[in-house]
Structures are given as C-alpha cells and as structure tokens.
Amino acid sequence: MEDGIAAIARRRPAPPVEGRLDGGDFRLTCEAGFGDGWNAYAHSMAWFEGRLYVGTTRGTIPGMKLLSPPPDIKPWPVDSPDNVYDIDRNSQIWRYTPESDRWERVYRAPDVLARNKTRMVPRYVGMRGMTVFQGRGDAKPCIYCSTWAPAMAEPPDILRSEDGVEFTTVKRPPWDVSVRSFRTLQVFAGRVHTSPTASNAGGKVQDSVGSEAVIYASDDLSTGVWKPANDEGFGNRDNLTIFEMAEFNGYLYAGTVNPHTGFELWKTRGEGGLPYQWTKVLTHGAWRGPFNEVVVSLCEFKGALIVGTGIINGGYHRAFKLGPAAAEVLRVWPDDSWELLVGHSRVTPDGLKVPLSGLSAGFDNLFNGYVWRMCAHGEYLYAGTFSWANSLPYLPNAKWPEDVLKMIRQWGIEHLTRNYGGFALWRTHDGVRWDCVTANGFGNKYNWGVRNFASTEHGLFVASANPFGPTVAIKENDQWRYVDNHRGGCEVFLGVPKATPGNA
C-alpha cells in the first residue's frame, strides 16, 4: 500500500473548514436536486448568454445495479427497485438567472419505446457534457450537450439549442450500438471533439470505459459529419478510452484510461487535417502505473497544464480489481517537462519526483479517489475531489488492508463519513501552497464529488454529485431502514467575494 494510506491511518487531518473564496463565502443556490432527489449529478454545466445551464443525471445509484460487475454493497444506499426503469430517470436541464436568483427547468428527456419494444424508457438518463460552440452551420453560438442513453434505448445523441429553451437533436458521431454515453465536448481549431466513455459491448455494462478509444471531430455538428482524429488508442490497445481533453498552449491534449500500465497523455497542433499527428507527453500514469489509471481532469493555469488523476469507478476499478488508491495532481509545462504537485513520491525516468506541496495522494486523504474537476478563477486554481468515504457503511471490508481497517477502528465509520464523506475543495495561488476550502462537501456528507465549475462575472459556481436521494439507508439499533433525505440530490454553490466599502 502507498504512503498516503499509512499517513491517514497515523494522524488525524486538520478539521474541516468553512468554505471561503478570496475573503468571501460560498452560498447554496439550489439543494436536493432542484427539489427532486433523483437528480443525482449536476453532470454538465455551461455559461450561456448571461445564464448558467446545468444538465443532470438521475438515479445514479439505482443505475449501478446494471454495471458489470455491480458494486458489492449492502444494503443498497438508496431505496431502489429491482427494475431501475420503474423510477423516473429522465434527465433534465436547468437554467439559473443570477439577477433574480431563480432556477427554471428548460428540458426533460422524453420517453421512447425500448429497442426490444417491451416498454417505454427514458431517451436519456444523463447530460454528461456541455459546451458553447458556433459551427459552420450555426448563425450564432449554441449550447451543445452530450447525453447518456440507457441500455434499452438507442445510442446517445447530441442536443443543440440556439436560445437555451428549445433543444433539438443533431446527428451523433458514428457510434457502435454498444455506446451508452460520451462526456467531453472539447472545442479546438474550429471543431468539437468527443469520444465514447461508456459501453455495454458483449453484454457488459461499463461506465467510463468506451467501446473504442477514438476521438471524433466535426466543424459543423448540424450536418452530422464526424471524422476520427486519432488512431485507435493512439496505437496502444491498453488505452481503453479517451477520457478527457483540453486546449493548452495552442495544442489539444487528450488523456486516456489505461488499467494495465497507467494513463497516457497526448497532444496535437491539429494541423494538416484529420486525423491529426499526435505526440506522447506522459506515459505509465506519470510512472505511478495503474494507480494513475486515468486522466480525469485537465486545466490551464498560469502557463502550465494541470492534470488531475484517478482510478475509474471512484478509486476502485471493479472490473480490473484495481485500487483503492487516491488521486494525484501533476503540472505539465509547454516543453513537456512535468512536476508532481500532490501525490506519491517516486523515482521516474525523468528523475526523482516528490510532491512540491508536501501533500500525498488525495490531498493526504485515501478516500479522494479522483481529482474530478479543476477551474482557474481569479488568481487561484480550484481542485475538487470525489470522496468514497460516505460509502463506507455499505461496503464489505473483509478483504481490506490492515492499515485501513486500523484507521476505521481508531476513528469509527461515523466520524469518517461525517467529516470526510463529502468532497474536498482545495485552492492554490501557485500550485505549491494549497488551502482547503472544505473537506466535507460544504457541510453535506452526501455531496460525494465536485462535478462542475463555472467561472463567471458573478463568481465561481461549484456543482456537486450527490446520489443519496431521495431516500437514504440508515442504521438504528442494528437495523437498516430508509428515510427521506432532504440533503440528497445535487447542489450548486456560488462563491462571491465580500463586498468592500464603495463596492457594495
């Protein structure tokens, strides 16, 4: 086991702190999944024409019953029917107007006849990515949204809206019928780039692993003409998926899922037409191996590309029995040299790498399985994690490492879930010195991840993934029962600096 696990077992981290933003505060703009606890993830977000748009994924925990293999949990954390199609999982899009502090629903996915024609099912259960883009056929910038389709529906589409009210579908890339979702919609060189990130190929439903590791690109989404931008897996069959992309220093960067040797990071100038010519930047999970299985997040900050890592499925990849392990933060410079900011010290072909922050993987917290999202806002970089600590009451521990069991015996599951069950949000001015904004999901242990940021003139929006609604299993007198959970469902916070005299 890595030193971060031993560290958390030896000492108690600093107590959770109140959320702060440049001398200001974060406030809650919506809670309990916009009033519906089935709205589990604020899965996509974009700023468009002066308003914030949020796409939801619904019924996340019931949907996990369909995974191959399903999580080994008991009891099920929320009251879930055996047939997940018996609940309302039709994904939604919500719009927030800052001036009136008002949310309104602008879209709900329709029901369609299942492919086997046995029943009606949601066309989409999630809105996994969102961007604003003006293609050759667009009269103005439009919202485009990538979707998540249930196993009994057709492959997922892309939604388009000119006004943020009326949403229509445009032709999807040439997906195989097994594709279930795609997430990133990355704008670069006048094109949108995307890649499938969930599949039910061979009857095995896998989230975060697609049927092919290919990026598709289009400069006019309304025509549905998509072309591949890379060779399958960049020529490496162990690269199962292209998971995340970002633009930096005139290049498009792409990070993979690789459970065998660790993620790879590639870049391209995008010159000479499709497919592009690519250069490898990092390999072998930055020489941590499969404990850095995936590039989860990418963000430009002060002349460098910041890389957030993880293991898919929240820090433990069930299909490959990989993990648990906590996530790292890396910094890549334009010349492809790199530094370890937060993580596990190691000797690499590039020399000894030690965390410049002094923080081990997961920001000294084993439970932070992803650095899920990052955002530059003002003079700071914000990094939000996914924490699986709140799943502890439902997980079997017979095969857990002894040092982890020692930690649980010493502190108790109640203490761990209360103080570290929610996401952690950290910020830095220089990549080296980090401050903890919150260690417990802004006081809500059910907020297990920061799923989105939006930096706007109104402040920094932070949106959560919170699947513990509308009910949650609690244990009383050695008996489990389900109770209504008013803090279950995604939440959206807004961080605003305090007003100063003359600027009230």
**Around 371, how many Cα atoms within 13 Å sit in the side-chain half-sphere?**
28
* CA atoms of 127 and 43, how far apart (whole Å): 6
pLDDT value for 294: 97
Is the Cβ–Cβ distance between 72 and 89 less than 8 Å?
no
Distances (CA, A) of 28 to 455, 461, 493: 16, 10, 4
pLDDT value for 200: 77
* CA atoms of 50 and 353, how far apart (whole Å): 43
pLDDT value for 139: 95
pLDDT value for 176: 86
pLDDT digits (tens, 9 = 90+) for 15-26: 333 555 554 589
Q: For residue 496, what are the β-bridge partners?
A: 25
DSSP state of 322: B
- Mean pLDDT, consecutive 10-residue segments, the chain of 504 residues? 36 42 76 96 98 97 82 89 92 97 97 94 97 96 96 94 97 89 95 89 72 94 93 96 97 97 98 95 98 98 98 85 92 98 97 98 94 96 96 81 81 86 95 95 94 96 97 93 96 80 42
Is the Cβ–Cβ distance between 296 and 310 less than 8 Å?
yes
Residue 354's H or E segment, with its range, is none
- Helix 413-420 and helix 402-411: axis angle, to 10°? 90
For residue 409, the one-letter residue type is R
Structure tokens at 42: 């604020």
pLDDT value for 20: 56
* CA atoms of 241 and 291, how far apart (whole Å): 16
pLDDT value for 17: 38
Backbone angles phi, psi at 84, to 5 degrees: -65, -15
Q: Of all residues in the chain, what percent are helix, strand and coil, respectively (each to 5)?
A: 15, 40, 45
Is the Cβ–Cβ distance between 436 and 426 less than 8 Å?
yes
Structure tokens at 222: 């309304």
Is the Cβ–Cβ distance between 211 and 194 less than 8 Å?
no
pLDDT value for 9: 34
Three-class DSSP category at 269: coil
Is the Cβ–Cβ distance between 93 and 103 less than 8 Å?
no
